[in-house]
Amino acid sequence: MITGYGHFVQLAESLQWDETELDLSVDRENWPKLTEAENAKVLGLIAGFVIAETSVAGQLGSFQEAASCDDAMEATFRSQARDEARHARFFDLVASDVAGVPGATAAARRAVLRDQVSSELADLFEHRLPATAERLAEDHDGLTAAVGLYHMVIEGVVLLAGQHAMLDALEGLSVGLPGVRKGMELVLRDERWHIGFGSRIVQSADIGPEQAASMLEQGETAAKVWGDLISAESIETAMKQHRRRLKASGIKFW
């Protein structure tokens, strides 16, 4: 196994940010001025991020455990878990403070937003990912396959496509949401190193053709969980990047 995960921890350290320091005052003021279509799109994406980030933040423990033979890799999963927890807090903050989603706790707000996401998205984050993490807890040899789903498919395809769609949507709004935009950019910056970290793990593993085909196929299915919140064109771009990333990790499909 290739070592040298240490630099990811240093990178994560240098990229730390605090969601409570973002200025959301203009966003709060402008939110009610969004058109109905703008509101539906932005809130739909936020709902997806709240469900997704809460789920990913909760699943990294098994990854950390499975990497316990490599101190640097284990520490990197720990750094990532800290990022994901912050992302979950950021999206919940936007939901409660900007979009005014009702609920006294994050869990209560999540329950409200849960109705806004597709059953495919809910299934991916509430069933498939937890089941994969559970399998990993029982069998640490499944780390590469689990990283294939978590880092390559979920982060590399589903979340990245959603984050790009959100940045595009924010760009085209009739009023600005500058605090949300700033937070999205910071989330995206974190996600880039998470995907780089996952790619490195996949690269250092011996991936057979079957596992490679499964990662590609999972990407194709998962890219569709956003429904019409993401254009077919954006999904195609995300899949192209997914293929390129897998290829760069030494995986051959053709």
- Chain residues binding Fe ion by CB under 5 A are 53, 84, 87, 155, 191, 194
By beta-carbon proximity to Fe ion, the closer residue of 34 and 113 is 113
By beta-carbon proximity to Fe ion, the closer residue of 34 and 161 is 161
Q: Whole-number minimum distance, CB 197 to Fe ion, in Å?
A: 9
Q: Whole-number minimum distance, CB 193 to Fe ion, in Å?
A: 9
Q: Whole-number minimum distance, CB 168 to Fe ion, in Å?
A: 19
Q: Whole-number minimum distance, CB 209 to Fe ion, in Å?
A: 27
By beta-carbon proximity to Fe ion, the closer residue of 31 and 63 is 63
DSSP state string for the chain: -----HHHHHHHHHT---GGGS--HHHHHHGGGS-HHHHHHHHHHHHHHHHHHHHHHHHHHHHHHHTTTSHHHHHHHHHHHHHHHHHHHHHHHIIIIIS----SSHHHHHHHHHTTS-HHHHHIIIIIHHHHHHHHHH-GGGHHHHHIIIIIIIIIIIIHHHHHHHHHHHHT-SS--HHHHHHHHHHHHHHHHHHHHHHHHHHHS---HHHHHHHHHHHHHHGGGGGGGS-HHHHHHHHHHHHHHHHHTT----
CB 200, CB 11: distance < 8 Å: no
By beta-carbon proximity to Fe ion, the closer residue of 194 and 242 is 194
Q: Whole-number minimum distance, CB 191 to Fe ion, in Å?
A: 5
By beta-carbon proximity to Fe ion, the closer residue of 30 and 179 is 179
Q: Whole-number minimum distance, CB 206 to Fe ion, in Å?
A: 25
- Cα distance between the two ends of the chain: 25
CB 150, CB 239: distance < 8 Å: no
By beta-carbon proximity to Fe ion, the closer residue of 34 and 93 is 93
CB 73, CB 198: distance < 8 Å: no
Q: Whole-number minimum distance, CB 6 to Fe ion, in Å?
A: 19
By beta-carbon proximity to Fe ion, the closer residue of 176 and 196 is 196
